[in-house]
Amino acid sequence: MRVCVVGTGYVGLTTGVSLAFLGHDVTCVDLDRAKVDLLSGGRSPIYEPHMDALLADAADRLTFTTDYAEAVPDADVVFIAVQTPSLPDGNPDLRYLRSAAESVGRHISGEFTVVVNKSTVPIGSSNWVDSILRESFERTHERRSDGEFSVASNPEFLRQGAAIQDTLYPDRVVVGSDNPRSLDVLNRLYRTLLNQTFTPPTYLPRPAGLGAVPMVSTDLASAELIKYAANAFLALKISFANEIGQLAGRVGADISQVTRGIGLDTRIGPRFLQPGIGWGGSCFGKDTAALIATGAEYHHEMPIVTAARTVNQLQRRLVVDRLLEELRILKGRRIGLLGLAFKPDTDDLRDAPALDIARMLAERGARIRLHDPVAAERFRLEQPELAEHLTGDVEDVFDDSDAVVLVTEWKQYLDLDWGKLASLMRTPVILDGRHTLDRDRLTKLGYRYLSVGGR
């Protein structure tokens, strides 16, 4: 099929490249000329495992352009995957979505086109996109639209760092539309993915035991709500683990053992119970805020989602409290942070706990040293006021330090020569913000091991 993807951010690019890999002819539109040039040269503007390889594999069926006219008129399916950043009131900023929908509406031709909203948008937005498309189409063509297009919602559940894995081997595909013809088109578009009949890339084999992927076909509003509900549920799972972790610390229990014990109950499941300094990133904070804002519009309070956010903010403060308790004074103390990205395998710093923690420590007069194997350069650009604390040498983080905090559990940190590093520190205090280091081993190496809750 012929596919157009508007927006080459995380979601758009992954969608476009994956659909081309699956055999569709894909044109990606982005107004950013520099990005389009980079992608046309086979290079990805985002750091994402396997993206460059998949770009190369799909190159024959993949085009990048800044011109809607080259991409929209022939497309059977147009995905809109533009950013929807949060406004101060928690609602997403829909201006990019509006202008993308206007441009698509101008270029849609006479053939039936499914316009799929892939951006995470408040419930009801697909109707709004439909009205913008219609107005734009009618203004351009000077006639009423007559079934040339239909809007569908196809929310994305990919994780950064595992975006391609999650796209090629999803747990489910959710498509929402009030038009059966659209559902049929999307069913055909995803057929080889749903049946898992495509040949997997050599560098990303199909997970053992993965069978057919279920497709959940819904009405528009349900598909939109599924996206928010899924992210909010994952966020509250983590916050729940962290809340129990605080209690575990007080009663002398080990939170890692507790989460393992509860996660083996198949009704609960083991994933997203990893305790620590909590969630960050572009989705959980934004989507929980948007869900609460939608609730407020309907005079519906959402105390559970609100509490998940409160607990998450508390976890960041606990890092400072724990260090204060241990070191008594933070002013003048040298404290190193390992990891700045909101999680490993990405250079994304959006809502990264490290930003709040670094700021809180700096405000208290601590002398901080910051390290990240991948996100340091982005940090330098995006956080100029903290950039002077960056170091490219992980030993600097330990050298003469009073404490080191593991903020992001990059694999290379787990493999460090911890014995040697302890000898560099003034006082070998390690605060394991992710419950991921080997407590017994570090204690034997002379560290004082601390965590945020749960022993």
Active-site annotation, residues? 283
Residue 236 or 370: the one with the smaller Cβ distance to ligand UDX is 236
CB atoms within 10 A of CB 427: 15
Tell me: is residue 356 an annotated ligand-binding position.
no
User: What length is written for the chain?
Assistant: 455
Stretch that binds ligand UDX, among 85-93, 107-115, 155-163, 380-388 (CB under 6 A): 155-163
* Rounded Cα gap, residues 139 and 225, in angstroms: 31
Among 157, 229, 395, 414, binds ligand UDX (CB under 6 A): 157
Sign of CA dihedral 299, 176, 65, 137: negative
Output the smallest distance, CB 219 to ligand UDX, in A. 21
Among 64, 96, 284, 449, binds ligand UDX (CB under 6 A): 284
Output the smallest distance, CB 48 to ligand UDX, in A. 10
**Pair type for strands 403-406 and 77-80:** unpaired
Tell me: is residue 284 an annotated ligand-binding position.
no
User: Per CB under 6 A, does 84 bind ligand UDX?
Assistant: no
* Rounded Cα gap, residues 419 and 374, in angstroms: 24
User: Per CB under 6 A, does 283 bind ligand UDX?
Assistant: yes
The backbone torsions φ and ψ at residue 368, rounded to the nearest 5 degrees and listed phi first, read -95, 150
Tell me: is residue 391 an annotated ligand-binding position.
no
User: Per CB under 6 A, does 154 bind ligand UDX?
Assistant: no
Among 16, 249, 276, 339, binds ligand UDX (CB under 6 A): 276
Residue 162 or 327: the one with the smaller Cβ distance to ligand UDX is 162
Among 274, 294, 401, 451, binds ligand UDX (CB under 6 A): 274
User: Per CB under 6 A, does 231 bind ligand UDX?
Assistant: yes
Tell me: is residue 184 an annotated ligand-binding position.
no
Residue pair 29/67 in contact (Cβ under 8 Å)? The answer is yes
User: Per CB under 6 A, does 240 bind ligand UDX?
Assistant: no
Stretch that binds ligand UDX, among 123-131, 158-166, 357-365, 388-396 (CB under 6 A): 158-166
Q: CB-based contacts of 358: which residues, under 8 Å, 6+ apart?
A: 337, 340, 368, 370, 386, 389
The backbone torsions φ and ψ at residue 64, rounded to the nearest 5 degrees and listed phi first, read -120, 140
Among 64, 137, 149, 279, binds ligand UDX (CB under 6 A): 279
The backbone torsions φ and ψ at residue 81, rounded to the nearest 5 degrees and listed phi first, read -135, 60
User: Per CB under 6 A, does 156 bind ligand UDX?
Assistant: yes
Render 241-303 in DSSP notation, one character per residue. Answer: HHHHHHHHHHHT--HHHHHHHHHTSTTT-STT---SS---SSSHHHHHHHHHHHHHHTT---H
Output the smallest distance, CB 399 to ligand UDX, in A. 27
Stretch that binds ligand UDX, among 93-101, 150-158, 216-224, 397-405 (CB under 6 A): 150-158
Give the burial class of 397: count Cβ atoms within 10 A of its Cβ; 0-12 exposed, 13-18 middle, 19 or more buried.
Answer: buried
Tell me: is residue 274 an annotated ligand-binding position.
yes
Q: Which of 382, 390, 385, 397 is CA-nearest to residue 428?
A: 397
CB atoms within 10 A of CB 37: 13
User: Per CB under 6 A, does 48 bind ligand UDX?
Assistant: no
Q: In the window 386-425, what residues touch ligand UDX (CB under 6 A)?
A: none
* Rounded Cα gap, residues 233 and 281, in angstroms: 15
DSSP state of 41: T
* Rounded Cα gap, residues 277 and 433, in angstroms: 5
Stretch that binds ligand UDX, among 96-104, 127-135, 231-239, 329-337 (CB under 6 A): 231-239
User: Per CB under 6 A, does 96 bind ligand UDX?
Assistant: no
User: Per CB under 6 A, does 343 bind ligand UDX?
Assistant: yes
Q: Which two tokens stand for residue 335?
A: 């404290």
Among 245, 278, 339, 454, binds ligand UDX (CB under 6 A): 278
Among 2, 98, 141, 159, binds ligand UDX (CB under 6 A): 159
Residues of each annotated binding site: 30, 35, 84, 120, 227, 272-276, 280, 286, 343, 350
Residues of each annotated binding site for substrate: 227, 272-276, 280, 343
Residues of each annotated binding site for NAD(+): 30, 35, 84, 120, 286, 350
Q: Where along the sequence are the contacts to ligand UDX (CB under 6 A)?
A: 156-160, 231, 234, 238, 272-274, 276, 278-281, 283-284, 342-343
